[in-house]
Amino acid sequence: MNAESGARADVLVIDDEADIRELLELALLRMGLSCDTAGSVAEARERLASGSYRLCLTDMRLPDGDGLDLVAYIQQAHAGLPVAVISAHGSIDTAIRALKLGAFDFVTKPVEVKAVRALVEHALRVPEHAQDEPEADGVRRLIGRSAAIEHLRAQVARLARSQAPVFIHGESGTGKEVIARSIHALGPRAGGAFVPVNCGAIPHELMESEFFGHVRGSFSGATADKPGLFRAAQGGTLFLDEVAELPLAMQVKLLRAIQERAVRPVGAHAEEAVDVRVLSASHRDLAALVAEGRFRQDLFYRINVIALHVPPLRERPEDIEALAAHILARLAARDGGPAQRLSAESLAALRAHPFPGNVRELENLLERACALCDSDVITPADLALDAAPAPLASPVTPPPGQGGDDERSHILRALEETRWNRSEAARRLGMTLRQLRYRLQKWGME
Ligand SMILES: Nc1ncnc2c1ncn2[C@@H]1O[C@H](COP(=O)(O)OP(=O)(O)OP(=O)(O)O)[C@@H](O)[C@H]1O
């Protein structure tokens, strides 16, 4: 529209169909945004070279090329410019490819003005406190200087604006939830809720109602309406922790909710639209579970659009110093004294420690050391690393023919060795978290 005048427009719309260009232009104008248009890849590149836009919306099929190539080109030549794609109805594969290439979101044809508005609002809304002080909101900063953490921090910043589903893989205690919370807190959904759910901890028979809610009286025990996790995360983020623990029947229902962007509460007649970004995590290799038929391929494909891997702490000992300083400062703030620090020998000992429980183990270890240490320098004796048993090489299985008491002592041992990190203990025991919790409840230990 105003490209000729050289003035800067907010949005660049690329589509070869004049009526779609008009529809989008009008919708954007109503939002107070000015707009340039292009009808081909070549024209789009020209506009991009001369203007500086806040947002770009492109169709997939253009007369002289492909919208996907344009997405890739923008990532490379105009990094930082958010781009979304308009994909033909039913071509979800292409939409997912666009997300993988760096598009932050997509709308499907026929284009609905409401969907465009939501998309544009998300793209242009960046939380005011972004970058600086997420810690202040109870969101922990991702601490560490290793190349792996530096890379993750950069990815988190980039993915925060995107609406793409992200799967975070890593051992227990490596910081998967910290990463998920940061993606939420640094993005346009920060004003909405972050709803974490441990998929391994919900009893199977309650899963549907936990996720999708229920109406009062829909089953015995449903004494009041319940919104469910999806609706609780409306406008925000749903974090599916231990996603590999979902039973197959629930995986089907979850896939449907994600695809349709709608849920039907148990006992309700109609579906309700939900606007939720789904992030997920697991210590398991989801692709391997798919190959074994224990995780649905279609759900895997949907939640694993972007995959992040968090390496275990023993593979990044250079993070230990900064993490320890951060943890000690937090403990001091909590207890109201000066922060204790590590002696050089203590730091060396920690750097050599295998940390089966990762950063969570480091936190527990330092908390215990602070309690034991009566000076302001923590010595290797305070750390008592020798007291911490070596990690188990394989899951613990009770020897054949021994049940009950033996199982209990095996479980207790695994819990002690993981410092009561139940997810990690369950993993070592080769059972699901739910199975572990069931046993603990049975023994009155929950
Ligand atoms: N890079 C990091 N910077 C700051 N704190 C961290 C970092 N990594 C982990 N932590 C802290 O370590 C603890 C464990 O992290 P978190 O709960 O995110 O791990 P997780 O991988 O989600 O574990 P699980 O699989 O057991 O749920 C938390 O208290 C978290 O704040």
Pick the CATH number of 404-442 from 1.10.10, 1.20.120, 3.30.70, 1.10.3470: 1.10.10
Q: According to the model, what pLDDT value does residue 402 have?
A: 39
Residues of the chain with CATH 1.10.8.60: 313-387
Confidence of residue 446 (pLDDT cuts 50, 70, 90): low
In angstroms, the Cα distances linking 39 to 13, 54, 65, 117, 118 are 8, 19, 11, 21, 24
> Exposed/middle/buried for 339, CB within 10 Å: 0-12, 13-18, 19+?
middle
Burial class (CB in 10 A: 0-12, 13-18, 19+), 251: buried
Mutation to probe ligand 1, out of 135, 174, 282 (largest number of atoms < 8 A from CB): 174
CB-CB neighbours of 37 under 10 Å: 22
What lies within 8 Å, CB to CB, of 244 at 6+ separation is 199, 282, 284, 286, 289, 294, 295
Please work out whether the CB of residue 359 comes within 6 Å of at least one atom of ligand 1.
Answer: yes
**Considering only CA atoms, which residue is closest to atom 9 of ligand 1?**
175
Cβ-contact 264, 227 below 8 angstroms: no
Higher pLDDT, 149 or 400: 149
List the beta bridge partners of residue 170.
310
- pLDDT greater at residue 128 or residue 186: 186
Please indicate whether residue 172, judged by its CB atom, sits closer than 6 Å to ligand 1: yes
Query: What residue spans in the chain does CATH classification 3.40.50.300 cover?
Result: 147-310
Query: Is residue 177 in contact with ligand 1, taking CB distance under 6 Å?
Result: yes
CA distance 49 to 390: 58
pTM, full prediction: 0.79
Task: Pick one of 3.60.15.10, 3.40.50.2300, 3.40.640.10, 3.20.20.140 as the CATH number of 11-124.
Answer: 3.40.50.2300
Q: Given the CA of residue 181, which atom of ligand 1 is nearest to it?
A: 18
Peptide bond into 380 cis (omega under 30): no
Ligand 1: which residue has its CA nearest to atom 25? 172
How many angstroms separate the alpha carbon of residue 357 from the centre of ligand 1?
Answer: 10
In tens, the pLDDT along 205-259 reads 889 999 999 999 888 878 888 899 999 999 999 999 999 999 999 999 999 999 8
- Specify the domain boundaries for CATH 1.10.10 within the chain: 404-442
356 pocket-lining for ligand 1 (C-beta < 6 Å): no
List pLDDT tens digits, range 117-158: 989 988 887 655 444 444 444 456 899 999 999 999 999 988
Q: Give this complex's ipTM.
A: 0.98
Q: What tokens were used for 199?
A: 């998929």
The beta-carbon contacts of 152-159 under 8 Å, at least 24 apart in sequence, are: 152/179, 152/308, 152/310, 155/308, 156/182, 156/183, 156/186, 157/131, 157/186, 158/102, 159/183, 159/187, 159/306
Residue 87 has pLDDT above 50, yes or no: yes
Average pLDDT, the chain: 86
The tens digit of pLDDT for each residue in 3-30 reads 444 457 899 999 999 999 999 999 999 9
Superfamily for the 147-310 domain: P-loop containing nucleotide triphosphate hydrolases (3.40.50.300)
| Chain Cα centroid distance, residue 168 | 6
Q: Is 423 in the pocket of ligand 1 (CB under 6 A)?
A: yes
CATH topology for the 313-387 domain: Helicase, Ruva Protein; domain 3 (1.10.8)
- Residue 300 CA to ligand 1 center (angstroms) comes to 23
